[in-house]
Amino acid sequence: TYNARNLLASVTNRRGQQRQFEYDAGGRITRWTDPDGSVSFTYDANGNVLTVTDSNGTITREYDKLNRVTKYTDSQGNTLQYAYDEVGNLVTLTYPDGKQVHYDYDAANQLIKVTDWAGRETHYEYDLNSRLINVLRPNGTQMTRVYDDAGQLLQQKEVIISSGELISQFDFAYNAAGDIRKEQIAPEPNLEVNPLEMTYAAANRLATYDGSAVQLDADGNMIFGPLSGGMANFAFDSRNRLVAAGNTAYRYDAENQRTAVSIDGQETRYVINSQSILSQVLVRTQPDGTQTYYVYGLGLIGQEKQGQYLSYHFDFRGSTVALTDETGQVTERFQYSPYGLLLSGDASITPFLFNGMYGVMTDSNGLYYMRARYYHPEIRRFVNQDVLLGIVVEGQTLNRYGFVTGKPINSIDPEGKWVVPVLVWGIGAALFLSDIFSPIEPDFSGSGALGEVWTIPGPFRAAKPIGKSCQTAMEQAKEIADDVVDVTKEFRRIKPGVKEKLTPDDLGMKGITTLKADILVSKEGVAEVFVQLVKGEFQGEGNFLVVLMDRLAEIARAGDASVLRMKSVPVNKGLRRILDRLITKPNRRFPGWKVKKEYGTYTIEIPLK
């Protein structure tokens, strides 16, 4: 239902559970209430969220004059502090007990060094196309990457520098579509997986597992199904969050960050950095009080526990394949099936296994916590539905339980919300260090309110996974709550020689290029666009920008927009140079363009009428 101001007033899920919303005079959510309690919000004069309060406590944030979070205190009283350089890069992250991690960047704002509280340094090196080619770890191990002319990864290799001993090596071959057709792994894995029989019912619901009946509730949540080799009960709250699975219970804060896991009443607690695109566990406290500290750069780097430090080594998809000690010696190896089932390795050593580089956590019951949802590797699917419906022209997206649309070799889903080609997540520090989190994320999953109104086009399923303007599915739900979305369109995938709406020749591109854009036109007439450039080189970056903006403007005008606001995180240095100049010096070639830069994300705004 909607109120007199056309703002969302209530949502009822298929289990009959209702959530009600309250707003201030400016249309901002001040409180919402459901069967699990109330969550309230306060704001400063700039519209920044100051506090978020529920029955577990209050989360607070402090901001600088540029509206960047400088201090964050969670509901348990743990405080994190953030310091930035003049262009908005995070330079210091301070943990609750005063430990600090420092970040250094090059002239292109690429992360080049991470230094933790013990002086341990991790160094990153890039090629001229801003692709990661070298990682030097503090324990004397090194990762190198080699790419072909199309920018495809040919080899990723990890060695102990002093001895040349191989830690891991991955060699790749690709088909014409750019998908991996062959992957050679050293050491060679054992990929034997026991066969299982599963049957399915309507709406892709799992009906039986190895002969045992599976039960789901009205919202499609699995409430009885396989777990740890047997069958177990699962419980979900009204927000469709998993709160229990067998003997394991889960606790979340008001912002849906998982803060604790209890096994038979023994609780492990987490301190979460929620300010990055992918939330990060900074401190893990086990029931006996033992604490593990985690360090992040371009993904997870290492952990310190009781004075001992381990470095993480990952495969192409960010799954942990080895841990090394402070001398660089391998202490444990891990192997996985294509769908993430752990085939070898001691899972008790670390919770960051499958996709662990991106903060995906492996629970002791075998479930993978992917933030928005839990992935179950035994059944190769999530335990509840995606909040988005998918699209007819890409049939695999219609299976709302499916994992990475059946493409686990080339794709990942570290947020449990959308499918992302692996290389998209590997482009830079913005994924791990940007301050872009939105604390207002009312969960409409299961209610139908989001999916029935908002069907995301294209293979990514949630419009914007990169950069400062990144929107999660829940943030898009917030836009629906504000009655914003009227029009949504997309550019389809562009390949050389294929005459579609735009071609590489039109844009001055060469090589295999993917261009993706989703346009949201507000009732106020502002067309919000986020553009992804996944692969490709450009000839004539200025021409590319002009043609791109003209085409976006054409589509935006069709949606009755009066202003076009395009955001992007360009990986091409030529594009960045042009945009940097336009910030301070207008150019006749780009009439009426207003360009801003924040946290490595560029915003171009042009009038349409």
Q: What is the pLDDT of residues 232-279, one digit of tens each?
A: 999 999 999 999 999 999 999 999 999 999 999 999 999 999 998 899
- Whether 162 contacts 175, CB under 8 Å: no
- Are 29 and 178 in a shared domain? yes
Q: Where are the beta strands (DSSP E) in 298-377?
A: 299-305, 308-314, 320-324, 330-333, 335-336, 342-344, 361-362, 368-369, 374-376
**pLDDT of residue 482 exceeding 90:** no
pLDDT at 560: 74
Residue 406 in any domain: the answer is: yes
> pLDDT-derived band of residue 553, with 50, 70 and 90 as boundaries?
confident
Please compute Rg for the chain using Cα positions: 24
> pLDDT-derived band of residue 494, with 50, 70 and 90 as boundaries?
very low
The DSSP 8-state label assigned to residue 582 in this structure reads: H
Residue 579 in any domain: the answer is: yes
pLDDT at 384: 97
Q: What residue numbers bound the domain in which 584 lies?
A: 486-607
Report angle CA 152, 155, 161 to the nearest 5 degrees.
140
Give the C-alpha distances (Å, rounded to integers) separating 244 from 34, 224, 601: 19, 11, 39
Which residue is associated with the tokens 């381990």? 310
- Whether 360 contacts 368, CB under 8 Å: yes
Which residue is associated with the tokens 């395009």? 566
- Are 497 and 575 in a shared domain? yes
- Are 416 and 505 in a shared domain? no
> Using one digit for the tens of pLDDT, what is the confidence trace for 563-576?
888 887 766 667 77
Instruction: List the CATH number of the domain containing 546.
Output: 3.40.630
- For 203, phi and psi rounded to 5 degrees? 60, 30
pLDDT at 264: 96
pLDDT at 268: 98
**pLDDT of residue 470 exceeding 60:** no
Q: What's the domain count of the chain?
A: 2
Residue 448 in any domain: the answer is: no
> Using one digit for the tens of pLDDT, what is the confidence trace for 265-317?
999 999 999 998 899 999 999 999 999 999 999 999 999 999 999 999 999 99
Element (H, E) at 248: strand 248-252
Extract the tokens encoding 187. 């050491």
Residue 477 in any domain: the answer is: no
- Are 409 and 505 in a shared domain? no
- What does the mean pLDDT of the chain come to? 83
- Are 427 and 511 in a shared domain? no
> Using one digit for the tens of pLDDT, what is the confidence trace for 421-468?
775 444 445 456 655 445 655 444 444 333 222 222 222 222 222 222
**Distance from chain centroid for Cα 126:** 22
> Using one digit for the tens of pLDDT, what is the confidence trace for 188-222?
877 766 778 999 999 999 999 999 999 999 999 99
- Are 406 and 517 in a shared domain? no
**pLDDT of residue 381 exceeding 50:** yes
Could you tell me the pTM of the whole model? 0.76
Quick one: average pLDDT of 47-55? 95
Q: Which of 404, 431, 458 is the last residue of a domain?
A: 431
- Are 377 and 496 in a shared domain? no
pLDDT at 169: 97
More confident residue, 531 or 606: 606
The residues with which 113 forms a beta bridge, in sequence order, are 104, 123
**pLDDT of residue 529 exceeding 90:** no
DSSP notation for 252-304? E-TTS-EEEEEETTEEEEEEEETTSSS-EEEEEE-TTS-EEEEEEESEEEEEE
DSSP notation for 535-565? S-EES-HHHHHHHHHHHHHHHHHHTT-SEEE
- Whether 485 contacts 444, CB under 8 Å: no
Choose the weakest-confidence range: 51-65, 104-118, 436-450: 436-450
The C-alpha atoms of residue 519 and residue 522 are separated, in whole angstroms, by 10
> Using one digit for the tens of pLDDT, what is the confidence trace for 14-26?
999 999 999 999 8
Helix (H, G, I), strand (E, B) or coil at 191: coil
Residue 253 in any domain: the answer is: no
Quick one: average pLDDT of 114-129? 95
Choose the weakest-confidence range: 50-54, 146-150, 452-456, 478-482: 452-456
Q: Which of 431, 447, 471 is the last residue of a domain?
A: 431
Residue 212 in any domain: the answer is: no
Extract the tokens encoding 503. 């071609």
pLDDT at 205: 97
**pLDDT of residue 387 exceeding 60:** yes
The burial class, CB within 10 Å (0-12 / 13-18 / 19+), for 528 is buried
More confident residue, 322 or 475: 322
The C-alpha atoms of residue 604 and residue 257 are separated, in whole angstroms, by 32
- Are 394 and 331 in a shared domain? yes
Which residue is associated with the tokens 């992935």? 375
More confident residue, 354 or 516: 354
Extract the tokens encoding 456. 């995301």
- Are 500 and 587 in a shared domain? yes
Residue 559 in any domain: the answer is: yes
- Are 54 and 183 in a shared domain? yes
pLDDT at 362: 98
The C-alpha atoms of residue 252 and residue 392 are separated, in whole angstroms, by 34
**pLDDT of residue 140 exceeding 90:** yes
Element (H, E) at 97: none
The burial class, CB within 10 Å (0-12 / 13-18 / 19+), for 184 is exposed
- Are 401 and 499 in a shared domain? no
- Whether 543 contacts 531, CB under 8 Å: no
Residue 246 in any domain: the answer is: no
Quick one: average pLDDT of 344-354? 96
Element (H, E) at 505: helix 504-507
- Are 554 and 421 in a shared domain? no
The residues with which 391 forms a beta bridge, in sequence order, are 394
